Structure 1
């Protein structure tokens, strides 16, 4: 992936020297993660509406959802000689450029998320974030959280190496931020608790696959504008998507594959939806909620 020399985001907050953190969960807050590496904090995402249709995707129609936020304190920037921190800062900046332009084209305004680097544990508006959860997005404070040690897990334990695989992880979490900005997360979350656990697991899958598709949309436009892709990059992302499919993770943990417990989608589904966004570059192709077949 060609990333060095590109713009770095100012929205990166480095908490790696803060010694972890505790804190009590904020009532009603919930985080959304890339995969069920150990645990996944996913709320009840309920189908019954077509959020993309109701919201008038990127049309600027309707008020922005009200979110619970933390005080906006100055970010502690990562060290300039930290290559991995520079990498994630550059990828975040690229997502800002792509989504900012797509929102402008649709008559809306994109609010950049923050990306928080931490080690072990850190307080969030969705409760205490743990490294074992893998990277996640907290809608309540509009921040993406990542312990960079996850990338070593992705490479060695899950068999998904490569810088573009790492970029895909960030782009997926930013995809959840896009869902939050569009009001999709809030609309479906309002119906939480009205269906069975199996049903909301199925709807969590649709939410996660849409974030995968949004990651593909980002990659499409980043490539078109800045030619970031090198040979093998797409294969790295597709491999990562496969390795964190619910079925693959359940097999890797030595258990039976239980489709009713899926919350993120199968390997094939994750690959399909990422590739759909990558090939089309169109947000409208990412309506997983309307898709009859995933």
Structure 2
């Protein structure tokens, strides 16, 4: 990708200097030591539940909160990956500000939070193990940059445009939130059975993939950022995190009714649809037609 001359976003929060203060996690007014946390981690492994859930039970309830050592700041200039992410976020701001004006709307730019390990969010405690995610409660995208290394080494999806696709996908969820799509889907999911709720999640995620494609096309048209092979890198990344491939790797079998993000083929196809058209209107995954 050719992003060297692109501006940096002002909407980056670097929390990677934060830590668990005092050797424990403060929960509901109390504090748990590292020994208790270790027990909770072991218990969570055998119970198959989130370790924070176990810790919360041991503490008597309450939402975990991380005490930050220092306030969030801009990423250091000698961190090329963080600087790259800042430029990608800036490009999404330019793209979606323009697209929203075309729709007669005003775009509200999200914040992007860089963190390591754990971080507090309006949606609960964010964890690196969750991968990148968007929280509509605070309108922030959260990412541990070690995920990019995992993409390269575990998912065999290297390349800057693959990394940019991940950021653009999460910003796509922000776009869905601003347009009220996410809230509609959430209400429908609450009234649906598990299979139907999963199917709605798939449609939401595939639309975010399509919106990432729209970003890629529009940004390239505006700033000529793509090199030969960049599109394939993004498609490889989309395929690598398809539910079918992840399930096959994790459990040796595929259970389509449990999909929440879409198959590899679907994720590639919807990203490509957005990229080929550059048109938000081509990203309607909720028209009751097969995906």
Bigger helix share: 2
Superposed CA deviations along residues 23-70 of structure 1, whole A, max 9, x for unmatched, are: 879xxxxxxxxxxxx999xxxxxxxxxxxxxxxxxxxxxxxxxxxxxx
Q: Which residue of 2 aligns with 1:30?
A: none
1:138 to 121, 135, 139: 135
User: 8 Å contact 2:170–2:208 — kept in the other structure?
Assistant: yes
Q: Which residue of 2 aligns with 1:5?
A: 5
Q: Distance in 1 between matches of 2:155 and 2:126?
A: 21
1:272 aligns with 2:269: yes
* Displacement after TM superposition at 1:192 (Å): 3.6
Q: Which residue of 2 aligns with 1:59?
A: none
Q: Which residue of 1 aligns with 2:209?
A: 212
Q: Distance in 2 between matches of 1:161 and 1:276?
A: 22
Within a 5 Å distance, the mapping from 1:181-196 to structure 2 comes to: 181-196=178-193
User: 8 Å contact 1:205–1:264 — kept in the other structure?
Assistant: yes
Q: Which residue of 2 aligns with 1:116?
A: 113
1:236 to 233, 243, 266: 233
* Displacement after TM superposition at 1:254 (Å): 3.6
1:253 to 241, 247, 250: 250
Q: Distance in 2 between matches of 1:249 and 1:186?
A: 27
Q: Distance in 2 between matches of 1:15 and 1:145?
A: 10
Q: 1:259–1:20: structure 2 CA closer, same or farther, 3 Å change rule?
A: farther
User: 8 Å contact 1:20–1:122 — kept in the other structure?
Assistant: no
User: 8 Å contact 1:242–1:270 — kept in the other structure?
Assistant: yes
* Higher deviation after alignment, 224-233 or 12-21: 12-21
Q: 1:195–1:24: structure 2 CA closer, same or farther, 3 Å change rule?
A: farther
* Higher deviation after alignment, 188-197 or 78-87: 188-197
TM-score by length of 1: 0.81
CA RMSD across the alignment: 2.0
Q: Distance in 1 between matches of 2:171 and 2:145?
A: 16
**1:86 aligns to what SS in structure 2?**
helix
Superposed CA deviations along residues 234-266 of structure 1, whole A, max 9, x for unmatched, are: 000000000000000011114210001000000
Q: Distance in 2 between matches of 1:20 and 1:248?
A: 35
Q: Which residue of 2 aligns with 1:99?
A: 96
Q: Distance in 2 between matches of 1:242 and 1:216?
A: 14
* Displacement after TM superposition at 1:191 (Å): 3.2
Q: 1:173–1:214: structure 2 CA closer, same or farther, 3 Å change rule?
A: same
1:178 aligns with 2:175: yes
- After superposing on structure 2, the runs of 4+ consecutive aligned residues of structure 1 that deviate more than 4 Å are 20-25
**1:137 aligns to what SS in structure 2?**
strand
Q: Which residue of 1 aligns with 2:79?
A: 82
Within a 5 Å distance, the mapping from 1:10-49 to structure 2 comes to: 10-19=10-19
* Displacement after TM superposition at 1:130 (Å): 0.4
**2:17 aligns to what SS in structure 1?**
coil
User: Structure 2: 5+ residue runs without aligned partners?
Assistant: 29-47, 51-70
* Higher deviation after alignment, 181-190 or 109-118: 181-190
Q: Which protein is bigger by CA-based radius of gyration?
A: 2
Q: Distance in 1 between matches of 2:49 and 2:221?
A: 36
* Higher deviation after alignment, 13-22 or 131-140: 13-22
How many pairs were matched up? 249
**1:191 aligns to what SS in structure 2?**
helix
* Displacement after TM superposition at 1:9 (Å): 0.1
